[in-house]
Amino acid sequence: MLEQLTLQDTVLDAAREVFETMIFMDIETSSDACPSITGESLLGSITFKGDLEGCLAVCVSQSCADRIAKNMLGMEADESLTIEEACDAIGEVANMVMGSIKSRLQPLYPTLEVSIPSVITGRELKNTLGERAVKTIVCAWLDGQEAAEFSFLYRKSASQKTQ
Amino acid sequence: MAKSLMIVDDSATMRKIIMRTVRMSGLEFDRTEEAGNGKEALEKLQASPVDIVLCDINMPEMSGTEMVKEARKIDCCQATKIIMVSTESAEELINSVMADGANGYITKPFTPEKFQEKLAPFMN
């Protein structure tokens, strides 16, 4: 089983690589309890199967999603953005963070097949995987202002359990 | 010499990001096209070929790996340079898609410098 501390670092390193390279935002973990994401929010998730099965999700507030999308697209702060553009951007963030996690897990788990990302909007959104799932949550601040939650849920696949 | 480019990705946002990053890399194209999956890309390429294709792998309808294989069977795409742009970084997959006819591979997240490095050899 993956060590939780190592997995937390893996998720954080992957998120940091994506945010610093493509979104131009600093990312720091929260030393306190997870900052709450209140009001309308977006949850981008992507599932994987193979040596492990589970899902990665990125949850941010609507305002944070707008900021991420504008940074990714090189838009000015006062330019208008559609909800579809914000959703598409959060889906891509989930996709890239998962891709980065996958490459870091490759030596331990070489076979991980990743789905196409999906995004939902609403309030108090949670990433779940049912019973016996191992859950790693990384709470972070983006540019010291906006809260973001990265949750990586997994369980060993049937083929791995028998080994 | 004027060059043309097609960006193939199911995410409209990612297509815009790639276009922006290409511009930031200093590379210039006189014509740019977009497609949302491999099937749409092949249809557009047959109607109007381009010099360079930047292609995602994980897409609905037709993946980037399938698209490369199909493109190499079509006369009009023989000279087209196809660079994969994907979050997938497994060496086995990269070797496989290169063997199928891709001309380069860029992993996401990417930088303008990476596009410059991978595309510049095909600009002359």
Instruction: Look up residue B119 and give its two tokens.
Output: 């595309």
Q: Under CATH, which number does the domain B4-122 receive?
A: 3.40.50.2300
Please determine, for residue B101, whether its predicted confidence score (pLDDT) is greater than 70: yes
Is there a contact between A22 and B107 if contact means CB atoms under 8 Å apart?
A: no
The Cα–Cα gap between B105 and B97 comes to 9
Better-predicted residue by pLDDT, A159 or A139: A139
Least confident of A95-99, A159-163, B1-5, B98-102: A159-163
The Cα–Cα gap between B116 and B118 comes to 6
| Residue A129 pLDDT level (bands cut at 50, 70, 90) | confident
Whether B95 has its CB under 8 Å from any CB of chain A: the answer is no
Residue B112 amino acid letter: P
What is residue A163's predicted lDDT score, i.e. its pLDDT?
46
What is residue A2's predicted lDDT score, i.e. its pLDDT?
62
Backbone angles phi, psi at A18, to 5 degrees: -70, -45
3-class SS at A89? Answer: helix
Is there a contact between A22 and B14 if contact means CB atoms under 8 Å apart?
A: no
| Residue A130 pLDDT level (bands cut at 50, 70, 90) | confident
Is there a contact between A102 and B86 if contact means CB atoms under 8 Å apart?
A: no
Q: From the centroid of its chain, how far is CA A10? A: 12
Whether B26 has its CB under 8 Å from any CB of chain A: the answer is no
Instruction: Look up residue A89 and give its two tokens.
Output: 């951007």
What is the full DSSP assignment across A15-75?
HHHHIIIII---EEE-SSSPPP--SSEEEEEEEEEESEEEEEEEEEEHHHHHHHHHHHHT-
Mean pLDDT of the A38-48 span: 93
| Residue A127 pLDDT level (bands cut at 50, 70, 90) | confident
Please determine, for residue A154, whether its predicted confidence score (pLDDT) is greater than 50: yes
Q: Which helix (H) or strand (E) holds A103?
A: helix A83-105
Number of CB pairs < 8 Å for A and B? 62
Least confident of A32-36, A122-126, B66-70: A32-36
| Residue A158 pLDDT level (bands cut at 50, 70, 90) | low
Distance from the Cα of A100 to chain B's closest Cα (Å) equals: 7
Please determine, for residue B84, whether its predicted confidence score (pLDDT) is greater than 90: yes
Opening angle at CA A43, ends A67 and A39, nearest 5? 70
Please determine, for residue B96, whether its predicted confidence score (pLDDT) is greater than 70: yes
Q: Under CATH, which number does the domain A4-156 receive?
A: 3.40.1550.10
Q: In chain B, what percentage of residues exceed pLDDT 90? A: 90
Whether B78 has its CB under 8 Å from any CB of chain A: the answer is no
What is residue B89's predicted lDDT score, i.e. its pLDDT?
87
Give contacts of A17 with chain B, Cβ < 8 Å: 109
Here the ipTM equals 0.82
Mean pLDDT of the A124-136 span: 79
Tens digits of residue pLDDT in B19-70: 999 999 999 999 999 999 999 999 999 999 999 999 999 899 999 999 999 9
* Closest to B7 (Cα-Cα) out of B30, B39, B41: B41
Q: Where are the domains of chain A?
A: 4-156
Q: Which of B60, B90, B109 sits opposite A22 (nearest CB)?
A: B109
